[in-house]
Chain A
Amino acid sequence: MNAQQPVNIVMIEDDEGHARLIEKNIRRAGISNPIHHFVDGTSGLRFLFEAPDGPVHNGPALVLLDLNLPDMSGTDILTKIKAEGSPLRRAPVVVLTTTDDKVEIQRCYDLGCNVYITKPVNYENFAAAIRQLGLFLSVIQVPDLEEQ
């Protein structure tokens, strides 16, 4: 990722276990960027838009988003991030969820999601998918948010 400023990975995932497994496997892929984990949509959004060390004020970010959250739907967060005039609308969003419903996938891409990944139930596949995502993250370019 960008060399000058470390890219923050913001993970909004209500399941602690999943979050831990995702983090472990991302680390195993050799990604050492800071990962900020939030278990609900409200705190995640607050960090994204308001926190002084959040992406709006503090460098580029990549969002890992689960769709099934206790307080709101992941698509709501996606809508806010990708809304017209949002400072984060260029930030890449990776939807990482258990849902493999076609309609939901379409909707996420319509809303501007960049990558949609269904969590494989089988752990080997899950670990492999996350590791590949980590490898993918290591090569993608994330836009600088200030250069709007």
Chain B
Amino acid sequence: MRAAQQNLERIAERRFARTVMLLIVLGFGLVMLAGISALAVMLRGEEQTTLVDHTYQVERQATGIRLALEEMRSARRGFVLGLRKDSGASYPAAAARLFKSIDGVAGLTRDNPVQQRNAEQVRRMASSLDILFRQSMGPSLQRSDKAEVERQILAGKVEAVAMRMLAEERRLLAERSASREGSVQLFYAVLAFTGVLLALVALGSVWVIRRYTGELVVSRAELRNLNENLEEAVAERTVDLQRANDEIQRFAYIVSHDLRSPLVNVMGFTAELEAAIAPLQGLIEKVDERDPALVSEEMRLAVGEDLPEAVGFIRTSTQKMDRLINAILRLSREGRRTITPEQLDLGAIAHGVIDGLRHRIDELGVEATVSDQLPDMISDRLAIEQILSNLVENAVKYLKPGRPGEIRISGRREHGRVLLQIADNGRGIDPRDHERVFDLFRRSGEQDQPGEGIGLAHVRALAYRLGGTISVESELGNGATFTVNLPANFAGERTA
């Protein structure tokens, strides 16, 4: 069920991420669209300004044509009537202005074939008109009505064409203005459209985010709730465990303790029995001397062999049982001892342990070394001493015959843990037994050494109590390395 919910949550998260991404992209797209249309409108506006300017220039030139024509006329009239004393010098200037204006118009409207044609026409007519004017001002001064009419018509035509050009230019301007108006309107429309869309996107984003935030708040509250419950559950379990552990300790103590009482009886009365055998044997011997017929072979065997043998077996068994019970008692007592962490100098402790076994070590010619790189740690002194001395004692005990013993204690600090290693070159432990050797009363290999199978169980119990672990690496016949992994800074046991 939890997995399904997690799956749902993951899907919701992915959907949220996708939606937000989509909305952001959409928003950017819209803003970009608005920007592009604004740019387009601006460019169009500039273009329009140039065009308007162009139209005005064309207009000025067209107006120039009319003005020049007017001047030419008045110059000719003045000259003919003799009103002017410039002997006709102002006419050529006016004619030059006329052609200049025509050239100007032609130059400005180079891209417009209609205007070009108009300009060409006007130029042609202006040339003819110019000739007519000049003839009328010539030395002959011939004046005919016909020429007069011809001049007037031609001048009218020139003016008309000029007017046409002007009209054309104005029409073009109006056309362009209209198209510009259209594009501006389109821009506004686009702007309004993107604005609405942006508002929608923003609303959508806010909605999605709000919904997601709401979900987050809810799930966070749930998480907090779960967390609190978890802590409570852990505390509860810890108390349960502690209680169970105490129960086991008490149980072990009571059992071992109460088992001792009957054992005292068994051993005591066995001893009494043994003591009673001696007078019985004396009796049998005495009777045997006086009247052998009274003593059957059965009696002799019973007193001489069966009884001592039975007593002997009872004795060895009870002694063994006694040792086992004592071991359990010792372990349970050890488990009830309070652990007091303190700053420890492992090097000094290791040397102390080896000195404590110095007698055996020297006797067997074992070379025991302690690394001078042993780290410091905070832990229980007695427990560490017992762990080390048990392991070193084992190393001394299980040497490989015919090979001079070597024992090395080393250690290092790693990620807040201290790794203590006790390596030997002894007879080793079969990998099959690597777990078993740490169990109570279990031993490995040839049973040629005294012991109950308690040492390593004790060491492991101690390591556990100090918040650590113990492991062994070994091969049969090739020595063993025990590694004790302990917290470098043991804060003490949790008191429940």
* Cβ contact within 8 Å between A121 and B272: no
Cβ–Cβ < 8 Å partners of B268 in chain A: 17-18, 21, 123, 126-127
Flag the segment in B151-159, B256-264, B338-346 that touches A.
B256-264
Chain B interface, DSSP helix/strand/loop, else mixed:
helix
Q: How far is the CA of A123 from the CA of B268 in the complex (A)?
A: 5
Closest to A130 in B: B268
Whether B109 is near chain A, meaning CB under 8 Å from some CB there, is no
Contact, CB under 8 Å: B272 / A24: yes
Q: Which residue of A lies closest to B326 (CB)?
A: A121
Whether B23 is near chain A, meaning CB under 8 Å from some CB there, is: no
* A4-41 at interface with B (beta carbon < 8 Å): 15, 17-18, 21, 24
Task: Identify A18's interface contact among B257, B265, B272, CB under 8 A.
Answer: B265
A interface bracket (residues with beta carbon within 8 Å of B): 10 to 19
Tell me whether B267 and A121 are in contact (CB under 8 A).
Answer: yes
Query: How many residues of chain B have a CB within 8 Å of chain A?
Result: 17
Bound-state CA distance A2–B182 (Å) is: 140
Bound together, the chains give a CA A21 to CA B264 distance in angstroms of 9
A97 to chain B, nearest CB (A): 9
Is B177 close to A, CB under 8 A? Answer: no
Query: In angstroms, how far is the closest chain A Cβ from the Cβ of B262?
Result: 8
B475 close to A (CB within 8 Å): no
Tell me if B269 and A17 are in contact (CB < 8 A).
yes
Q: CB of B393 within 8 A of chain A?
A: no
Tell me the nearest residue of chain A to B322, going by C-beta: A121
Cβ 8 A contact of A17, one of B257, B265, B322: B265
Q: Specify which chain A residues have a CB less than 8 angstroms from the CB of B267 in the assembled complex.
A: 121-123, 126
A23 to B361, CA, bound (A): 47
Interface assignment of A124: CB less than 8 Å from any CB of chain B = yes
Interchain CB contact under 8 A, A68 and B322: no
Give the interface centre of B264, B271, B272 by most chain A CB atoms within 10 Å: B264
Q: Which of B258, B264, B325, B326 has a CB less than 8 Å from the CB of A126?
A: B264
Q: Cβ of B121 < 8 Å from any Cβ of A?
A: no
Interface residues in B264-304 (C-beta closer than 8 Å to A): 264-265, 267-272
List residues of chain B with CB within 8 A of the CB of A127.
268, 271
A interface residues, Cβ below 8 angstroms from B: 15, 17-18, 21, 24, 68, 98-99, 119, 121-124, 126-127
- Chain A's nearest CB lies how many Å from the CB of B324? 11
Q: List 30 A-B contacts (CB under 8 A).
A: A17-B262, A17-B265, A17-B268, A18-B261, A18-B265, A18-B268, A21-B264, A21-B265, A21-B268, A21-B269, A21-B272, A68-B261, A98-B260, A119-B260, A119-B264, A121-B260, A121-B263, A121-B264, A121-B267, A121-B322, A121-B325, A121-B326, A122-B322, A123-B267, A123-B270, A123-B271, A126-B264, A126-B267, A126-B268, A127-B271
Q: Which A residue sits closest to B274, measured CB to CB?
A: A123
Decide yes or no: A98 and B271 within 8 Å by CB, A121-B322, A121-B326 being known contacts.
Answer: no
Complex Cα distance, B267 from A124, in Å, reads: 9
Contact yes or no, B257 A99, CB < 8 A: yes
Assembled-state Cα–Cα distance A21/B275 (Å):
13
A15 with B265: in contact, given A98-B257, A99-B257, A121-B260 (CB under 8 Å)? yes
242-260 of chain B: CB within 8 A of chain A: 257-258, 260
Q: How far, in Å, is A121 (CB) from chain B's closest CB?
A: 5
CB nearest to B257 among chain A residues: A98
Nearest Cβ on chain B to A114's Cβ, whole angstroms: 23
A136 to chain B, nearest CB (A): 20
Give Cα distance in the complex from A24 to B265, angstroms: 13
Residue-by-residue, is B399-425 near A (CB-CB < 8 Å gives 1, otherwise 0)? Answer: 000000000000000000000000000
**Interface of chain B residues 308 through 329 with chain A (CB within 8 A):** 322, 325-326
In the assembled complex, the Cα of A68 lies from the Cα of B260 at a distance in Å of 12
In the bound assembly, the distance between CA atoms of A112 and B397 in angstroms comes to 47
Interface-central residue, B261, B268, B271, B322, by most chain A CB under 10 Å: B268
CB distance from B107 to the nearest CB of A (A): 125
